[in-house]
Structure 1
Amino acid sequence: MPNVYLTKQMQEYAEAQIRSGAYANLSEVVRAGMRAIMEKDGARAFYALKAELEAAAEEVERGDYVEFDPRAFEPDAFRR
């Protein structure tokens, strides 16, 4: 189990969360924090993908694209 160092302010906040009954112990507080970070990272990835898709859609609307030719891309897949 890794050791975790908390600043005094973080430690006091965590202890207050435990006293309030929101969490049973420090491990639960830390896990909740890790879940929040993981959710935030998931949202960040979603919005990055959304921005890429919007940029690609704008390129298509401008006519700035090349038609995909699967035979040119993978000619061996179409040989019999």
Structure 2
Amino acid sequence: MKKPRIEAEEPQPRKIIRADKAPVSGYSLVVDGHFKSHHDTVEAAEEAGMALKNKFQMLQVQVYDAETKTRSMIDWPGPA
């Protein structure tokens, strides 16, 4: 007896962001000189950078602004 073939829905196409090229819009997280994640707002990028910096203080974390092509360093405040 043959089992019925279940066909899955086609997956949505993913938005592919290349890590070796600078983004053209939005804000990206740069970790130790490599582009890692892309965010729509600077607040979201800073929040993600601070969460990463809280876990791993030795990393160099920056927020890259694609519009002005500038980077700003995320500084870890240290233990209170």
TM-score band by shorter chain is: under 0.3
For the pair shown, which has the larger CA radius of gyration, 1 or 2?
1
Higher relative contact order structure (alpha carbons within 8 Å, sequence separation ≥ 6): 2
TM-score norm. by structure 2 comes to: 0.23
Q: Which has the higher helix share?
A: 1
TM-score norm. by structure 1 comes to: 0.23
